[in-house]
Amino acid sequence: MLALVMLCAPGAQGLAAGSGSRAVAVSFVVVATDTAWYDAQRNRSLPLKLRVPQGARDTPVILFSHGLGGSRESGEAWGSHWAAAGYLVLHIQHPGSDSAANSAAANSLQQYLVRIQDVHFILDDLARRKIADDPLLAHADLTRVGISGHSFGAQTTLAVSGMRLGDKLENGVRPFDARIRAALAFSPTAAGPESAESDYPRRFGAIRMPFMTVTGTEDGDSTSRGYPWENRQIPYQHMPPPDKYLLVLKGADHWLYGGPPGMPRGTRGQDAAIIRWTQLATTAFWDAHLKNDMSAREQLDVFADVLGTAGTFSQK
C-alpha cells in the first residue's frame, strides 16, 4: 500500500495498478490551436481551442464545455493534461453564455438548448472535417469520443449523455448523442425543469454510458439558487451501474474545477494537490473507457485506497 500511495500522490507520474505499478505513460508534446467553426444552418460561429498531441496515433477525442461566463480557455488544467496523455481535446466556447455575455439571459433554458445544439454540430463537423482531411484531425479516432464540462457545461454534458430533460423540452427529440462513448462532469447539479426528487431516477437513470462526476466539499452554489455541494452528487446516485464514478475532494471549490487560468479568487495552497488528484483520476477514467486500458480500470479500483484522507472515491 505504501508503494501505491507514493505512486499516486500528487506530483507522481502515474497511478498504480492492483497487481503492481503501471508503467509511466508517455507524455506527448501538445500543440494548441485557436480557431472557429461556423454552423451555417444556425448562422453561428463557435470559437474553439484544439489541443493536439504530437505523434499520437488513433487518438480518442474529448470535447470540453465551459461553465457560465467561461471561454475556450476554460478547463486548461484538465485539457492540457489529457492531451499530453494522448487525447485530442477540443474546448468549445458557447456564445451567449460565455465571457462576453453579461445578462441574466446567459443562464437560461434557451442558452442550455443552444449549447446542446452546439455539441451536436461539433460532432457533425468533426466527421465532415475528418473526411476532408483536416490536418488537425489526421490521427483522430472519431469512434472513441468523450465529453466533459464544468457547471453549465456539466449540465450540457449530462443532457447529451442521456439525461432526460422532460417531455415538453425534448418535444420528441432527445438531446442524447450516441456518438459519445463516455462522459465526465465537473460540478453538476440535480437542477432542472423537472427537479422533484421523485423524478431523479427517470432523469438520471437514463444515462447508460460510463460517467464520472467530480466535485468537492466547497463546491457550493455560484448562482445563489441554493444548491449545496451535496446536490452535485445526486446525478451519480441515480445513475445505473456499471462504470459510474464519483470523486469528492476535500477543500475543492467551484472555481477550481473550472480549470484555471482565470479564477475569480486567488490561488490557495491546497489547489495544486487537488488539481493533481483530479488529473490522475480523470485520466484513468478516460484511459479505461476510451482506450479500453485494463490497467487503468485497475487504477480506478484502488483509487479510493490511495486517495486516503484527501477525499472520497466511489464507484458502482
The two beta strands, 30-39 and 44-53, are: antiparallel
Angle at 39 between CA 33 and CA 45, to 5 degrees: 50
Q: What is the pLDDT of residue 2?
A: 31
Checking 220-225 for CB contacts under 8 A at 24+ apart, the result is: 220/253, 220/254, 221/254, 222/151, 222/254, 222/255, 223/68, 223/107, 225/191
* Predicted confidence (pLDDT) at residue 201 exceeds the cutoff of 90: yes
- Whole-angstrom distance, CA of residue 189 vs CA of residue 155: 7
pLDDT band at 130; cut points 50, 70, 90: very high
In tens, the pLDDT along 228-238 reads 889 999 999 99
Residue whose entry in the numeric block shows the C-alpha cell 437542477? 191
The arrangement of secondary structure in 29-315, i.e. its CATH architecture, is 3-Layer(aba) Sandwich (3.40)
In tens, the pLDDT along 285-313 reads 999 999 999 999 999 999 999 999 999 99
Q: What is the pLDDT of residue 25?
A: 63
